[in-house]
Amino acid sequence: MARIVLIEDSPTDRAVFKQWLAEAGHEVLEAGNAEDGIALVREHAPHLVLMDVVLPGISGYQATRQLARDSATKDIPVIIVSTKGMDTDRQWGLRQGARDYMVKPPVKDDLIARINELVS
């Protein structure tokens, strides 16, 4: 079981992802914006972060960059899960420090497999 911080502003997407992660045996901490999510990551030192891009306040790209540059959080893998599906979006997300980039809606088994691979 891994502790995962889910940073997602859509209540529907948050509920779906939380259910999938819980079914896979993971503990989920949720945030509806990047600022709260970064605080959760710093407080709870999760095994992984699932990050949306389009968020109120700072974007998921900016939050990923902050986590990747912070010595306390730089080793925590971030998977961006976003509706922004162009190759340039994916490349930008990876350049900010994300370990993977998946387009919404992700295939449940693919998402869980990638999470399990990164937290093992």
| Structural domains for the chain | 3-119 (3.40.50.2300)
Q: What is the structure's pLDDT at 58?
A: 97
Q: What is the structure's pLDDT at 16?
A: 98
Q: What is the structure's pLDDT at 25?
A: 97
Mark the ranges of the chain whose per-residue pLDDT is less than 50.
none
Q: Do strands 48-51 and 78-82 pair parallel, antiparallel, or not at all (unpaired)?
A: parallel
- Neighbouring residues of 20: CB distance < 8 A, sequence distance ≥ 6: 108, 111, 112
Q: What is the structure's pLDDT at 94?
A: 98
Give the pTM.
0.97
Query: What's the CA gap between 105 and 90, in Å, rounded?
Result: 15
Q: What is the structure's pLDDT at 109?
A: 98
Query: What's the CA gap between 8 and 81, in Å, rounded?
Result: 9
Q: What is the structure's pLDDT at 46?
A: 98
Q: What is the structure's pLDDT at 110?
A: 98
